[in-house]
Chain A
Amino acid sequence: GAVVSQHPSRVICKSGTSVKIECRSLDFQATTMFWYRQFPKQSLMLMATSNEGSKATYEQGVEKDKFLINHASLTLSTLTVTSAHPEDSSFYICSARDNTVEGAFFGQGTRLTVV
């Protein structure tokens, strides 16, 4: 099946710094990728839809200037958490759609801890 690779799997950063998370589709081209955030014991919340070659579409309540999304190629989308604060600590997961199957494939997730 299709594979989505997300990196890094875990990152600890100081408050005020920025963190970049990469999401790659390894064996298919993904014109659309999705970024989710999951707090402990809660469900995945969609943050934004990343479209190759155009601006991302953000869900209500998600700050686009804080969570910068770039989808420069058909196989790579990046999420940059700018000026991270402890409340940004969460599990961030990307997913990508393969047009040949329903559903989506997920990256391994990135556990971000801001200290």
Chain B
Amino acid sequence: RKEVEQDPGPFNVPEGATVAFNCTYSNSASQSFFWYRQDCRKEPKLLMSVYSSGNEDGRFTAQLNRASQYISLLIRDSKLSDSATYLCVVNQGGKLIFGQGTELSVKP
């Protein structure tokens, strides 16, 4: 079983759609959680941290359920510029472990 698993992609959605990404992790001792965004052939960039209380940044909402070892990212009113690969990332003892990523393509 992979340490961090994400929804298989790609997700093809129209502009304005709401899209949700799911992620599960296997190590219950994982300490902190993140969503990163990676554009084609570029380095990953931190999108947001994820907390049990849930956190929102504009159109993006992230949620963590420690009991289920489940992380989610919701994107509302999607824009063309949201097209990228979204990586679920887990901090295990200071090491960042990446999921395989979910590709999002937003179409006009």
Contacts and interface: CB of A to CB of B under 8 A. Distances in A.
A42 B34 CA distance: 18
A104 B44 CA distance: 10
Contacts, number: 49
> Size range of the interface on B?
20 to 34
Given A93-B43, A102-B49, A107-B43, A32 B97 contact: no
Contact of A44 (B42, B46, B87): B87
B96 A104 contact: yes
Contacts of B43: 6, 93, 106-109
Q: How big is chain A's contact interface, by range? A: 20 to 34
Given A34-B95, A97-B94, A111-B41, A42 B32 contact: no
A42 B42 contact: no
A42 B100 contact: yes
Contacts of A6: 43
B104 to A, nearest CB: 15
B94 A46 contact: no
A43 B99 contact: yes
Interface of A: 6, 32, 34, 36, 42-46, 49, 91, 93, 95, 97, 102-109, 111
